[in-house]
Amino acid sequence: MKIARIETFLVPPRWLFCRVETDDGVVGWGEPVVEGRAEAVRATVHVLEEYLIGRDPLTIEDHWQVMARGGFYRGGPVLSSALAGLDQALWDIAGKAYGAPVHALLGGAVRDRVRMYAWAGGDEPGELADSVSERIEAGFTAVKVNAVGRVPALATAADLDGVVQRVALARELLGPGRDLAVDFHGRVSASDARRVLPLIAPYHPMFAEEPVLPDRPHLLRDVVTASSVPIATGERLYSRWDFRPVLEAGVAVVQPDLSHAGGISEVRRIAALAEVWDARLAPHCPLGPLALAASLQVAFAAPNFLIQEHSIGIHYNDGADLLDYVLDPEVFRFTAGHVARPAGPGLGVRIDEAAVRRADKSGHAWRNPIWRHDDGGLAEW
């Protein structure tokens, strides 16, 4: 069996899918994308394609090594995301060729179901109460909220109070038996993170996410030790090498994205690395059906998995949603906030190829918002 053809599809709301076909007619799908830089990842996939065409799709690890290391320059979001999507597609092909779900090829499932959390509120969370209540009604046992919207270089008293009020409100609605995650999105300074984490600690968040920007791992230890709140990070880290300093700083939860951090092959290794520091795996996934399917395969195989993000109904998904591109939406059915173990071969999801080809015709040009401070300077989004 040889890799015969690689296609990419730019599909709304902001995703890129790849389709890898073998000369035997086996098709594997993946999701190589950086949100807001999809076209750059698409070009990179087609550069990597030059090496893959004509080769055996089942030697996944060797292809991973060549794609990650063979170009001399390595790492970063664009290359690591192109590699991630192709890696997913190769695992999908392997599963279909061997007639097994990917988690079976990774050593077999270590759990029967996977716990999911849902986003509540948007980027500037105003209608938080209604949103949290809806998620509880839908059966979720954990929700995540944004801690802040746009904040100045150093937060005001009103900004800090706003975080505490938001967290307190969500906790009151959730009660003590459900979990609350709080995402800082790298929007506050490290010093503000140290100020605000002790204030929200009494509400016992499951974790606080990205309290400092990913390019400042040297500041993370002070933030970790500023309060008892478990710290999570990793959606903007791309390899086990990127994760080592944040693990050494004492984070409790690692959040590699299956479509950014080198795919199934590398996220599986990042999870194992995290075990050394007693950290849990909670894959980042505001993306489409293939990123989610790949996340679930690792979640079923990784012993230190904690909880899974998903994008169904998320505030970014304007004009299209995750289930628009799948023929078997029941594989993503949430029962009491959990997903059942997928039984299908490969990634365990069947893609609606006609819908994907149709969607690619309109494409998208999604870009994240550019936020400005009151004085006109650039603010973190």
Residues at the interface with Mg ion (CB under 5 A): 183, 209
Strand segments (E) across 136-218: 142-146, 179-183, 207-209
Nearer of residues 286 and 346 to Mg ion, judged by Cβ? 286
**Cα–Cα distance between 20 and 353 in angstroms, integer?**
12
CB atoms within 10 A of CB 164: 15
**Cα–Cα distance between 244 and 249 in angstroms, integer?**
9
What minimum distance in Å lies between the beta carbon of 7 and Mg ion?
30
The single-letter code of the amino acid at 232 is: A
**Cα–Cα distance between 222 and 201 in angstroms, integer?**
16
Q: Which two tokens stand for residue 16?
A: 């890129």
The answer to whether 148 and 124 are in contact (CB under 8 A) is no
The closest of 143, 146, 41, 38 to 381, measured between CA atoms, is 146
What 3 state SS string does 240-300 have?
HHHHHHHHHCCCCEECCECCCCCHHHHHHHHHHHHHHCCCEECCECCCCHHHHHHHHHHHH
Query: Cβ neighbours of residue 372 under 8 Å, at least 6 residues apart?
Result: 378, 379
Q: Which two tokens stand for residue 112?
A: 């029967």
What minimum distance in Å lies between the beta carbon of 183 and Mg ion?
4
Chain-centroid distance, C-alpha 147 = 18
Rg (CA), the chain: 20
Nearer of residues 87 and 257 to Mg ion, judged by Cβ? 257
Nearer of residues 35 and 324 to Mg ion, judged by Cβ? 35
Nearer of residues 44 and 81 to Mg ion, judged by Cβ? 81
Which residues belong to the active site? 185, 284
Nearer of residues 60 and 128 to Mg ion, judged by Cβ? 128
**Cα–Cα distance between 100 and 300 in angstroms, integer?**
14
Would strands 338-340 and 113-115 be described as parallel, antiparallel, or unpaired? antiparallel
CA-to-CA separations, 236 to 68, 81, 126, 210, in angstroms, rounded? 17, 11, 26, 9
CA-to-CA separations, 194 to 160, 227, 369, in angstroms, rounded? 11, 8, 27
What minimum distance in Å lies between the beta carbon of 235 and Mg ion?
5
Chain-centroid distance, C-alpha 135 = 19
Nearer of residues 214 and 363 to Mg ion, judged by Cβ? 214
Q: 3-class SS at 312? A: coil
Q: Which residue is nearest to Mg ion (CB)?
A: 183
Query: Cβ neighbours of residue 301 under 8 Å, at least 6 residues apart?
Result: 102, 103, 106, 107, 108, 109, 110, 268
